[in-house]
Amino acid sequence: MVQSDELISVVIPCYNDGEFLNETIEKLRQQTYKNFEIIIVNDGSTDANTLQILKDVEQQNIRVIHKANGRMSSARNAGVKEAKGSIIAALDADDYFHPTFFEKALKVLHADENVAAVTSYIQMFGELNKLSKPRGGNQENFLFSSQCPACAIVRKKCWDEVGGYDEQMTLGYEDWEFYIRITQKDWTVFVIPEPLLFYRQTKKSTLKTHTLPNGASIIDYIVTKHSDWYLKEIKKLMLNKEILYTESRISFQNIWKMFKNRLMKKYK
């Protein structure tokens, strides 16, 4: 077991997710690393069952912060502002970590001060059963897709330095944009090659109901916000003569043209 007295602050946004909350809390209590606090952010829940469960949870010496609905970015930031720990564990109300995750993640952080965030392979369950293997890494790995889920351990000093999540992003991919800013600071993201995050798939998931239907506009927002960075990184890839292909064998030159048109507001 890791020999450490570092406090981990587990921040759990909750919007009408009461049916899963007790299970999530019970799974946290099974962690082999025990020095953590739990902060639940009630993000304007309207469901009577959820509100009752939150009242019950408050009787268990678990902090519950109540706020108006602002969606995930706002809820995570609100929880982190109240955190006492030097390490943030971001977790969704319907997901859970393997009992050894905190212990293994802290070992990674202690071994390399350049690592800002630690996650793992993802075991999806529920409506979809699938193993996902994000790559983590440096900023180049986050150019075209997110390689780390929101549910991860992050050094609080790194979270604070980049200003947390962008609260204008309410439809999804806010975690991708957050890790872009993290890795732009030359920190890296480490992925433990084991399925230690269990990600529940439901019919009302944000990915299905908000992110995918609005994917084009969200990506436009990310690329526009980081336009200078995208241009610099794509030019670097071109100078290094690195060729990337998608499943449909679209060449890197065409990917570059697509981004150039987007940045220049030419949507052809």
Strands 36-43 and 63-67 come out as parallel
pLDDT digits (tens, 9 = 90+) for 73-100: 999 999 999 999 999 999 999 999 999 9
Amino acid at 95: D
| Residue tagged 């997710």 (tokens) | 17
Q: Given this model, what pLDDT does residue 166 score? A: 97
H/E stretch holding 29: helix 18-29
Asked if pLDDT for residue 158 goes beyond 90, the answer is yes
Asked if pLDDT for residue 267 goes beyond 50, the answer is no
Q: Given this model, what pLDDT does residue 262 score? A: 57
Domains and CATH numbers, the chain: 8-213 (3.90.550.10), 226-268 (no CATH)
Phi, psi (deg, nearest 5) at residue 172: 125, 175
Closest CA to 6 of 121, 154, 130, 120: 154
Asked if pLDDT for residue 207 goes beyond 80, the answer is no
pLDDT digits (tens, 9 = 90+) for 104-113: 999 999 999 9
- How far apart CA 108 and CA 114 sit, in angstroms, is 10
Averaged pLDDT score across all residues of the chain = 89
Sequence-separated (6 or more) residues with CB below 8 Å from residue 53 = 18, 21, 22
Strands 115-126 and 96-97 come out as unpaired
Average pLDDT over residues 22-35: 97
Asked if pLDDT for residue 264 goes beyond 90, the answer is no
Sequence-separated (6 or more) residues with CB below 8 Å from residue 126 = 200, 201, 202
Q: Given this model, what pLDDT does residue 268 score? A: 39
Tell me what percent of the chain is helix, strand and coil, each rounded to the nearest 5: 40, 20, 35
Average pLDDT over residues 187-211: 84
Asked if pLDDT for residue 33 goes beyond 80, the answer is yes
- Confidence band for 205, pLDDT divided at 50, 70 and 90: low
Is 188 in a helix, a strand, or coil? strand
Q: Given this model, what pLDDT does residue 257 score? A: 62
Amino acid at 44: G
Q: Given this model, what pLDDT does residue 216 score? A: 83
Asked if pLDDT for residue 247 goes beyond 60, the answer is no
Phi, psi (deg, nearest 5) at residue 125: -150, 165
- Give 3-28 as a DSSP string: ---PPEEEEEEESS-HHHHHHHHHHH
Task: Pick 93 or 234 by higher pLDDT.
Answer: 93
CA 1 to chain centre: 26
